[in-house]
Structure 1
Amino acid sequence: MSTDAVVRPTPERLPLRERKKLRTRQALVETALDLFTRRGFDGVTLDELCDAVDVSKRTFFRTFASKEDVAMAPTQDLWAAFLDDLETRELDERPVLQLVEDALLAALASMTADSWTREVRLSLQLATETPSMDAHGRAFCDRTTRTALAILHRRLAIDDPKDLRPRLTLDVLVAAFHCALDVWAASSKAGSRTALATHFREAVAALPSSLTLTVAPRPT
């Protein structure tokens, strides 16, 4: 299976100004997740978060649109990388499901920050406790799916807007990833990106048999 990832500049190769922006962004994410986890999402004001990182609210809003955005940055970064990869990935004759699976695996491999997996776990736990984060996540997922769908229609020359296959392909991909994420997050061990990728591959592999699963009542 090909996983031709998009080549992106490493932080070390970025201009100094961009490196500073990335460091500020990462500090906001790490500090926000730590504060939200200890005191609750609603127990930390935006002013308190900015003070803890020693940045202005203006700087915050140049980086994130809301507290929900900074709290969900780890998974949102993953899906942003997925869209980037899907936009530039070399196309061949493989099934579209394999194409989008490879794009998401490449995006996952690009999440190289040592703290990423910890941040994802904290973000997921907060989302289960915070209705506004849950709603924000659903809206983000919908926007991401629509953007990915537009990319597929354009790059694969799918001209019929009523063709349901690309949307269904993306929907099952997202469902498989959420299943994998649930299994990975529930593990008592500190899961790695590799473990998450393995769970995701297993979930995708289970999709064909899930569509042919037949009713077999338990004997009484």
Structure 2
Amino acid sequence: MTAAPTPSLRERKKRRTRQALIDTALELFTERGFDGVTLDELCEAVEVSKRTFFRTFTSKEDVAMAPEQDLWRAFLEELETVRPGPPTLVELGRDALLAALDRMDDEGWARRVLLSRRLAERTPSMAAHGFQFCEATTQGALEILHRRFGVGGGDDVRPRLAVDMLIAAHHCAVAGWVAQADSAAPPATRDLAARLREAVAALPGSLTMSVEG
């Protein structure tokens, strides 16, 4: 395999600035509330201009939700190369999402997701932003699946339902993962991977689960 090219000095600086914005935003929003921190105050704390901020993020909501959005962007990248080995579309998506999760190797990622999720629970504008991002990601996944594997198109709703089920399994896994978190020691990424596998495995049973009248 060819080694990935070493990022340029400019690229490394951009990445450091982006990470500083995310970390500082999450700390300030958690301490003072999402609406208690202005964009000017955030930029001043990181010592960057608003112009620099908007080169990377579209809004306060965007920077606050960046950790989990990074995971789904990596998921789309993995979907571009994942091999169609699993027997079902949901399982193929699961493998791509697990591969993306493996790329979230920064020790601070789990804590950032924890802070972001807890902020979103009490910030309606973050929830709305998350919905929009989720829909954009879904459409991106459907485009890749259609282009690479020829699935979907027309009135075939099955690929959309498969992606929706994968996202639902992820939300279920993250909810349990966040609930078990200790503020002093955020849960490990490997625990989220295990929960995701369990949630995806439970999907077939959920579709055939009966209700006694």
Residue in 1 that maps onto 2:150: 157
8 Å Cα contact 2:29/2:36 also seen in 1: yes
Does residue 1:107 correspond to 2:100, yes or no? yes
Residue in 1 that maps onto 2:187: 191
Give the 3-state SS of the residue equivalent to 2:58 in structure 1.
Answer: coil
Q: Which amino acid aligns with 1:158?
A: V
Q: Name the CA distance, whole Å, in 1 between partners of 2:50 and 2:195.
A: 39
Q: Which amino acid aligns with 1:117?
A: A
Matches for 1:1-220 after TM superposition, within 5 Å: 9=4, 13-92=6-85, 94-158=87-151, 160-189=153-182, 190-216=186-212
Q: Name the CA distance, whole Å, in 1 between partners of 2:165 and 2:106.
A: 28
RMSD value, Cα: 1.6
Residue in 2 that maps onto 1:3: none
Once the 2 structures are TM-superposed, how far is the Cα of residue 41 of structure 1 from its aligned partner?
A: 0.5
Once the 2 structures are TM-superposed, how far is the Cα of residue 9 of structure 1 from its aligned partner?
A: 4.1
Q: Return 92-101 or 17-26, whichever deviates more.
A: 92-101
Q: Deviations over 1:120-178 (max 9, x none)?
A: 00000110111100100011101110110111111111363211111110010000000
Once the 2 structures are TM-superposed, how far is the Cα of residue 16 of structure 1 from its aligned partner?
A: 1.0
Q: Which consecutive residues of structure 1, in runs of 5 or more, have no partner in the other structure?
A: 1-6
Q: Name the CA distance, whole Å, in 2 between partners of 1:184 and 1:102.
A: 19
TM-score with structure 2 length normalisation?
A: 0.94
Q: Name the CA distance, whole Å, in 2 between partners of 1:93 and 1:39.
A: 46
8 Å Cα contact 2:142/2:152 also seen in 1: no
8 Å Cα contact 2:79/2:93 also seen in 1: yes
Q: Deviations over 1:44-98 (max 9, x none)?
A: 0111100100111111000101110000000000000000110122334632111
Q: Name the CA distance, whole Å, in 2 between partners of 1:126 and 1:116.
A: 15
Q: Name the CA distance, whole Å, in 2 between partners of 1:160 and 1:146.
A: 12
* Count, aligned residues: 209
Q: Name the CA distance, whole Å, in 1 between partners of 2:75 and 2:28.
A: 28
Q: Which consecutive residues of structure 2, in runs of 5 or more, have no partner in the other structure?
A: none
TM-score with structure 1 length normalisation?
A: 0.91
Q: Name the CA distance, whole Å, in 2 between partners of 1:42 and 1:154.
A: 42
